[in-house]
Amino acid sequence: MDYTVEKWLGLTINRTKTRVVVLTPNGDATLDFLGYTFRYDWDRRGRKQRFLTAVPSAKAVARAKSELREMTDYRRCFVPLPDLVGTINRKLRGWKAYFSFGHPRAAHRDINRFAIERLILHAHRRSQRPSRPPTGKSYYSFITHTLGYQLL
């Protein structure tokens, strides 16, 4: 084997952790690298072609959810809701900037849904009486418009 890249960059590749994955339109192989999953997906318009796509990996989405879970934990009930929403917005803005390559729409929807559910749970937990949105507003409208949660 030729190790010119190793010599050129002065790196040593860990042979036990490294594997070669061949992504072909006919195969079902996937490659997880730097938080993305690379794979061939069928065309969404019904054509009989497969295209190489990059989506945020399940591990990256799970890590983002875990961080949201920590931010809205019961131990942080003292944090005012507008401040918490601002913190979450900053965190998710960075996540969105990194995972803007490829086709991240499904992951964005999943994280938006999870963040809104966690914020509703946090609002319920803040007092002895569960919080309610103002009259005529849904929780979704209350969180996104009144509190300022920015959707991914």
Note the pLDDT tens digit of each residue in 119-140.
Answer: 998 888 877 777 788 888 888 9
Record the pTM: 0.81
Band (98; pLDDT cuts 50, 70, 90): very high
69, two tokens: 């879970």
**Which H, E and C letters describe the chain, residue by residue?**
CCCHHHHHHCCCCCCCCCCCCCCCCCCCCCEEECCEEEEEEECCCCCCCEEEEEEECHHHHHHHHHHHHHHCCHHHCCCCHHHHHHHHHHHHHHHHHHCCCCCCHHHHHHHHHHHHHHHHHHHHHCCCCCCCCCCCCCHHHHHHHHCCCCCC
pLDDT for the residue 3: 56
Note the pLDDT tens digit of each residue in 14-73.
Answer: 778 777 777 778 878 888 888 999 988 887 787 888 888 899 999 999 999 999 999 999
pLDDT for the residue 5: 63
